[in-house]
């Protein structure tokens, strides 16, 4: 995820991005981790989107 001139995105920011991009609910999204390297305007995000709402845990 690119974030030029901004801090590393929060889990809530990433969750909102995924909701809009894939048209899913919060309860279907699980974010495993966010990794950023110093000085680079991008972060590696590992997230899962479940078909069933009850499968994902925050």
Cα first-last separation, the chain: 20
CATH number given to 1-58: 3.30.70.330
Cα–Cα separations (whole angstroms), residue 36 to 7, 24, 28: 10, 25, 24
pLDDT on residue 39? 86
The better pLDDT of the pair 52, 15 is held by 15
Q: Where are the domains of the chain?
A: 1-58
Q: Which tens digit of pLDDT belongs to each residue from 11-49?
A: 999 999 999 999 999 999 999 999 998 888 999 999 999
Neighbours of 8 (CB within 10 A): 16
Ramachandran bin of 18, using left for φ above 0, alpha for ψ from -120 to 50, beta for the remaining angles = alpha
Q: Is the pLDDT of residue 7 over 80?
A: yes
Which DSSP letter does residue 42 get?
A: B
- pTM, to two decimals: 0.78
């Amino acid at each position: 995820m690119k974030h030029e001139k901004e801090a590393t995105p929060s889990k809530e920011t990433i969750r909102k991005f995924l909701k809009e991009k894939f048209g899913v609910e919060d309860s279907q999204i699980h974010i495993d981790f966010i990794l950023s390297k110093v000085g680079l305007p991008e972060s590696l995000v590992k997230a899962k989107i479940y078909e069933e709402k009850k499968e994902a845990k925050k």
